[in-house]
Structure 1
Amino acid sequence: MAQLVRELMTESPVTLASDTPLREAARRMRDQDIGNVLVADGDQVRGIVTDRDVVIRAVAESGDLADWRIGDVCSERLVTAAPNEEADNAIARMREHAVRRIPVVEDGRSIGMLSIGDAAMERDPRSALGAISAAAGNA
């Protein structure tokens, strides 16, 4: 039987309002050892901010992050997955769009996050990506 996205995803992703200060989002990523937060307006997922977005879109642009909000740097073109879809389909979509992680959305609300690391740890834990993804963070 095919594996479902729900079986691979990480549950309860961090979701913040678009007007959340960028520095707060970065702290949450650090404290929870994650590489992204979702951006939502109410219950509806609107975008994603990755640690790379913080560096490329904010730090490189301006050393002073005091006035930056996550809505200023988030990627709004979301690639998403449904919890009950086959994981292979979601992974193929990640490859097609060259993204490393996608929100798992049900009725417009985020219920999880699927990353290539999650897939590697489950499907090929002895691969380099599986081993790296399973290792403790260095933050």
Structure 2
Amino acid sequence: MATVADVLSPSPITVETTATVREAAELMREHDVGDLVVVEQGRLVGIVTDRDLVVRVLAVGGGSNDPVGQVATGSPVVVGPDDDLVGAARLMATHAVRRLPVVCEGEVVGVLSLGDLAVRHNAGPVLGAISQAPASS
């Protein structure tokens, strides 16, 4: 049985809730990633994606100095590194998300993305269900 640890992207880039949208975008560009784990005093409180910056900031007239904590998806669904991939994919489909923070003993140790799942050759049907799910708001 393949686990989340087998395919996760380790060492996620984090950003504090008080950082600006611009700082978040700069971090995404610098590290060539489409998401950041949002923390408050080192504790996971959300996740923000490049899509969030477009839809929740630019599209509604927000500005680059808006705090990233206001546009992040709060209380994200998480998985553990020992969770099986099929269960993680089902969580993605159920919650219409394409990325899950991976938490071990209270610490974020990685992010599992739709792309990470795609590397598994037997994940096709589940990936299709996730891709067809409506985007989270």
TM over 0.5: yes
Tell me which interval the TM-score lies in, with the shorter structure as reference length: 0.7 to 0.9
The gaps in structure 1 that reach 5 residues or longer are 130-139
Residue deviations 1:23-48, cap 9 Å, x none?
Answer: 01101111211111011112210000
Q: How does 1:6-17 map to 2 (within 5 A)?
A: 6-17=5-16
Tell me the CA shift for residue 14 of structure 1: 0.5
Normalising by structure 2, report the TM-score.
Answer: 0.84
Give the gaps of 5 or more residues in structure 2: 128-137
Q: Structure 1: how far apart are the matches of 2:95 and 2:82?
A: 20
Matches within 5 A, 1:7-86: 7-62=6-61, 64-66=63-65, 68-86=66-84
Aligned to 2:4: 5
TM-aligned CA deviation for residue 82 of structure 1: 0.4
1:65-113 CA-partner distances (Å, limit 9, x unpaired)? 22x0110101003111001111111111111111111000112221000
| 3-state SS of 1:40 partner | strand
CA-based RMSD of the aligned residues comes to 1.9
Check the 8 A contact 1:43/1:108 in 2, yes or no: no
The CA deviation at 1:124 is 5.9
Matches within 5 A, 1:94-133: 94-123=92-121
Distance in 2 of aligned mates of 1:59 and 1:98: 22
